[in-house]
Amino acid sequence: MINLKIDNIDVSVESGTTILNAAKKLNIKIPTLCYHPDLRIAGNCRICVVEQKGARTLTVSCATPVAEGMTIHTNTLKVRTARKHIIELLLSEHNSECTKCYKNGNCELQTIAAEYKITNENFIDLVPLHNYTIEHYSPSIIKDDSKCIRCQRCVRTCEELQSVSALCVAYKGDHMKISTFLEKSMLDVVCTNCGQCVNRCPVGALVEKNHIEEVWNAIYDPEKHVVVQTAPAVRVALGEDLDMEPGTIVTGKMISALKKLGIDSVLDTDFSADLTIMEEGTELLTRLKKALVDKDNTVALPMMTSCSPGWIKFIEHQFPELLPNLSTCKSPQQMFGALAKTYYAKKRNINPAKVVSISIMPCTAKKFEADRPEMRSSGYKDVDYVLTTRELAIMIKQAGIDFKTLSEEKFDSIMGTSTGAAVIFGASGGVMEAALRTVYELITGIEIPFENLNITPVRGMDGVKEASLKIEGTLPEWNFLEGVTVNTAIAHGLVNAKKVMKNVASGKANYHFIEIMACPGGCLGGGGQPIPTDSDIRMKRNRAIYQEDTGMKLRKSHENPEVIQIYNEFLEKPLSHKSHELLHTTYISRKN
Amino acid sequence: MTEVQEMIINLANKHGSGRESLIPILQAIVEKQNFLSEEAMNEIAEQLDISAAQVFGTASFYSFLDTKPRGKYIIRVCKSIIAEMKGKKEIIKTLENSLKIKVGQTTSDKMFSLLETNDIGWSDQEPSMLINEIPYTNLTPEKVITIINEYRSK
Amino acid sequence: MESNNLKKTDIIFGLCNCTSNKKYPVLAEVIQKTPNDIITEIIDSGLKGRGGAGFPTGLKWKFAAAGNNPEKYVICNADEGEPGTFKDREILLKVAGKVFAGMAICGYCINASKGYIYLRGEYKFMLPGLNKALLEFHEIIKELGYNFTIKILLGSGAYICGEETSLMESMEGKRGEPRNKPPFPVAEGFNNLPTVINNVETFVNVTMIQKYGVEEFKKLGTQDSRGSKVFSISGDTPNSGVYELELGMKLSDFVEEYGDGDTKAVQVGGASGFCVPRKKFDETIIGFEGVPTGGSMMLFNSSRSMYNVLSNYLDFFAEESCGQCTPCRVGCQQLVQGIKAVKKGVKDEEYLDTLLKLSESIKITAKCGLGQSVANSFFSIVTNFKEEMIY
């Protein structure tokens, strides 16, 4: 333990603790900007400076480990003067149009400038000298250099958490900026649209492309029938932007709010998640049969999930040789979209041309996914607009709805019923668990032998998880799997996806089925979720998702009555011709 | 395989394909091709298993690793205060007139690029300039013309 | 105070037979002693770094020698980029062998087998000569029993890479963005391993201390500034060039020798250094106890505009800043624009006080020596030549 004094108070902390965290222990708050708990320490904004006795310069508290006998003062004239100067410097190169900025009210620069009451302009406005650009060609992300404070949180996120490095620091000196390869549009580079950078940008330099006005217009249009689907991860996070604690389950209130907004039919992505399990489970078994029975060694194993569009773009850029391994299943969002303008429209006797299909997603890549040219199986754009969780919260506030006091409502039908297996899609390991619950029962006739159907080995926040299951007692039809040990891997965060893919590409891996989610924690940590994010918040959302699962009447996808119904009435069976037409897709190589 | 690809594969074999080889490889490409093309940076990224943005972000930091096309002979005139005191302005004027381009530009035959650079280590013999890696010092307008003509006749 | 007359020395460039005859006899002697003994000698000599920062060399080596990490490095910082500095240019052109020898001695002391010379890109023309000398060097020291090889890496036009952690980032193939300190290079340096990084001239001094002995070395200079220093002199002087003098001299003596009779100001230590006006020449000592320098001495006579001088230095910093930290990246731009605005009359002269306060904040919050030093020339030029900033 190291003993030091902060603001005349003694404190003891473990060796290696930073001054910032030692101060936190004493409930002394030192402001930061470039610091983020998910990322390595940068120490470049210099906001968190404190005075250290005996030091020649001020000390950055986020980057300096404590030392025995250190004497720190966090609020002296020197510290205040310097910190005010730094804030003023940041403001002088910043386009301070707060009232028009998308991050107005949720901006870390705004917050600290307000705290220090920076009311007059001391320095020269440098903005006109910079020729800043705003880039909005990406379907998911808008990059506004005029707001950038060069904290590099986005670059570090893209490198450390996602191993994509689509963003970089370029040039030096007064030209230094956050850029892409050759300053190309985010649309034209390896950006996966995952939005993790948006989650960590402290200001309005990186925000999602928002579709709030388009959705309002659709709602107001009396000619249009607006259908909404909501992703599982939204219902455990939406409350955070509406003054509620992380991890509060707000499913019922969310439905109520959507109805109050004027949505014609509030339906559930979870329905199509259950559908995905039927299609993907059958697809896996088909591939296993080809490999083990037909001894066809051209069949692509391991099979990999395909519901994460950030992951899809990632593999299209980086491992296109492994595209055959992807499940051909669309994501639940896109399955839903294709069905909304065919099955749903037909059953409800609505002209599909008048259906506006909207999804509420924890994800920014879903905007990119909806725009993919092949996502028009219905004959129309299958998903017209994607709103992030954040955008929905904004609309709820705009409508003057008092979210906390809303009553709990239920999803509409058809395509509104779901099971616990579907809701866990929002957490890393959830797709795997849902698939195992169904596939195991399909091939053995009995429930998977985990207490209360909770397959805990695939759960949790470890970057790469592995789980193996020995199949015993198969039904005669599935004899070829008797005694086979099925090996699975689950990865979340693209840095971990890359690790697994390298193993697969080199032939070292021995898996049959892999679940990949692009975002840390899975969809619950998605690029469209409320800001801020950290491991604590994601853990709370994680617990809420599994709690929602255990609270549901039906826990296995194949038990979903609406799923049974759609096969009976419309799709016939998994992997049928109709299923392939509407629910399956293809991928493209994006390597140079 | 293109010429650029082959060049870079050879360089990766020579210097290694870890991150620490990046700058020697970038320097070698610049020496051969005068600047770093999009194709070259993509290929380097491929060989070193890093992103093209990381290659670009690193290269753009260094003044001598141009990502904009440059001429065969890159003239860098020293712009330190001592150079200014000793007549850098006249040297720049002479070069601009002789090459018919302004500072920052490249001649249309892609022979010469004219740039300014910070102290190159010859303050005792200003005005000075580098043409590629060769320093020229104690410059006068006449000397400069002679030097340029020498390069023209190469 | 007693006046110190300028004392010229010839340690650095002088023939000494320590590296000649292609035998490196000084290294044959060094390897007879223990690393500990040599480090003690270097500490005792009082040798301080010659690049400008002036850290006690022996102490640096002692820290690096402690610790059992099997892999350590010796780096020679030959990124000489401080405006007005060109002394390493001459050292490398004339007595490179002494540099190599100093590095080998360091490697022996700290148990490092790999040495690097980070040579600024502007000195690329030296490569053929240096590589040739290195070939011979490697052959000879191998025979003497040294396990040490030196590789030369080139810079690519970035002043900041003269900062030790920025240099190491560059060697690792990255942008030259300085790191947080602690940890220091002697603990976590190149590839996060223990590294001694010293200036070209510092390594030559080590070689000379081993050749002539500690006591001889201590006869030169002063208590706080032992030894000699190589100066690079330029500007309004009839004698531009490289000169070796004992440290601790009075600036007035220096100006008398090297000025043109009309010296208004001397910039000691480059753009990162201090501008001394005529009225303070007599009271200013050139050395670690007074105004230190990496060697750059720029002389300005009364025909020169100190506004132009400061403007040039600030433009330099704004361009060469790595850009990572707020005070340096934005602060330098504010200083550049600020003095322009005052000169033009767009801002009144009180704004200079605002800028002086800002420069003080930059000094105590910047992440590395570049930002921390901007205030030196800003403060000394603005306060000593205020009228020239305004009219």
Interface of B with C in 97-116 (CB under 8 A): none
pLDDT at res. C2: 40
Q: Which residues from A are below 8 Å from C155, CB to CB?
A: none
pLDDT mean across residues, chain A: 97
In this predicted model, what pLDDT tens digit does every residue of A309-333 receive, in sequence order?
999 999 999 999 999 999 999 999 9
Q: Is C326 part of the contact surface with chain A (CB cutoff 8 Å)?
A: yes
pTM of full prediction above 0.90:
yes
CA contacts within 13 A on the Cβ side of B99:
30
In order of their start, the domains of chain C are 25-218 (3.40.50.11540), 306-390 (1.20.1440.230)
CATH number of A210-592: 3.40.50.1780
Q: Is A47 part of the contact surface with chain C (CB cutoff 8 Å)?
A: yes
C268, C274 Cβ separation under 8 angstroms? yes
In this predicted model, what pLDDT tens digit does every residue of A463-475 receive, in sequence order?
999 999 999 999 9
Nearest CA among A485, A520, A501, A547 for reference residue A305: A501
Q: Give the mean pLDDT of C110-138.
A: 97
Residue A119 has pLDDT above 90, yes or no: no
User: Cβ contact (<8 Å) for C298 and B21?
Assistant: no
Distance CA A518, CA A496 (A): 9
pLDDT category, C17, cuts 50, 70, 90?
low
Q: Which residues from B are below 8 Å from C124, CB to CB?
A: 133
pLDDT at res. A390: 98
A&B contacts, CB < 8 Å: 47
Q: Give the mean pLDDT of A116-121.
A: 86
- Among all residues of chain B, which has the CA nearest to that of C79? B121
Q: What is the dihedral of CA C245, C251, C256, C261, to 10 degrees?
A: 130
Nearest CB partner across the interface for A166, out of B38, B50, B53: B53
Q: Which residues from A are below 8 Å from B55, CB to CB?
A: 181
Q: Which residues from A are below 8 Å from B52, CB to CB?
A: 181-182, 189-190
Reduced 3-state DSSP string for chain C? CCCCCCCECCCCCCCCCCCCCCCCHHHHHHCCCCHHHHHHHHHHHCCECCCCCCCEHHHHHHHHHCCCCCCCEEEEEECCCCCCCCHHHHHHHHCHHHHHHHHHHHHHHHCCCEEEEEECHHHHHHHHHHHHHHHHHHHHHHHHCCCCEEEEEECCCCHHHHCHHHHHHHHCCCCCCCCCCCCCCCCCCHHHCCEEEEEHHHHHHHHHHHHHCHHHHHCCECCCCECEEEEEEEECCCCCEEEEEECCEEHHHHHHHHCCCCEEEEEECHHHCEEEEHHHCCCCEECCCCECCCCEEEEEECCCCHHHHHHHHHHHHHHHCCCCCHHHHHHHHHHHHHHHHHHHCCCCCHHHHHHHHHHHHHHHHCCCHHHHHHHHHHHHHHHHCHHHHHC
Q: Is B118 part of the contact surface with chain A (CB cutoff 8 Å)?
A: no
pLDDT category, C6, cuts 50, 70, 90?
confident
User: Cβ contact (<8 Å) for B80 and C312?
Assistant: yes
Phi, psi of C26, deg, nearest 5: -60, -35
Nearest CB partner across the interface for C327, out of A56, A86, A150: A86
Question: Based on C-alpha coordinates, what's the Rg of chain C?
Answer: 21
C103, C115 Cβ separation under 8 angstroms? yes
Subunits adjacent to chain B (3 or more Cβ pairs under 8 Å): A, C
pLDDT category, C126, cuts 50, 70, 90?
very high
Nearest CB partner across the interface for A168, out of B46, B57, B67: B57
Over pLDDT 70: what percentage of chain B?
100
> Chain C: nearest CA to A32, how far in angstroms?
13
Residue C18 has pLDDT above 90, yes or no: no
Q: Which residues from C are below 8 Å from B22, CB to CB?
A: 173-174
User: ω before A41 within 30° of 0 (cis)?
Assistant: no
List chain A domain ranges. 2-75, 124-208, 210-592
User: Cβ contact (<8 Å) for B60 and A170?
Assistant: yes
Q: Is A182 part of the contact surface with chain B (CB cutoff 8 Å)?
A: yes
Q: Is C83 part of the contact surface with chain B (CB cutoff 8 Å)?
A: yes
User: Three-state DSSP class for A396?
Assistant: helix
Is the domain spanning A124-208 CATH 3.30.70.20? The answer is yes
Nearest CB partner across the interface for C234, out of B21, B79, B123: B123
User: Three-state DSSP class for A488?
Assistant: strand
pLDDT at res. C22: 62
> What are the b/e assignments for A224-233, b being 16+ CB within 10 Å?
bbbbbbbbbb
Q: Give the mean pLDDT of A145-154.
A: 98
pLDDT at res. C257: 95
With 0-12 / 13-18 / 19 or more C-beta atoms within 10 angstroms meaning exposed / middle / buried, residue A238 is buried
CA contacts within 13 A on the Cβ side of A58:
31
Distance CA C87, CA C126 (A): 14
Query: Known catalytic residues of A?
Result: 280, 283, 307, 327, 366, 369, 374, 523
Q: Give the mean pLDDT of C331-357.
A: 97
Over pLDDT 90: what percentage of chain B?
98
Q: Is B21 part of the contact surface with chain C (CB cutoff 8 Å)?
A: yes
In this predicted model, what pLDDT tens digit does every residue of C345-370 receive, in sequence order?
999 999 999 999 999 999 999 999 99
Distance CA B95, CA B102 (A): 9
pLDDT at res. C304: 98
Q: Give the mean pLDDT of C326-336.
A: 98
Nearest CB partner across the interface for C180, out of A63, A123, A175: A63
Over pLDDT 70: what percentage of chain A?
100
Q: Give the mean pLDDT of A177-197.
A: 97
In order of their start, the domains of chain B are 3-61 (no CATH), 73-152 (3.40.30.10)
Nearest CA among A264, A259, A267 for reference residue A225: A264
Is the domain spanning A2-75 CATH 3.30.70.1230? The answer is no
CA angle A435, A437, A440 (to 5 degrees): 95
Residue labelled with tokens 């002063």: C222
Residue C199 has pLDDT above 70, yes or no: yes
Q: Give the mean pLDDT of A188-193.
A: 97
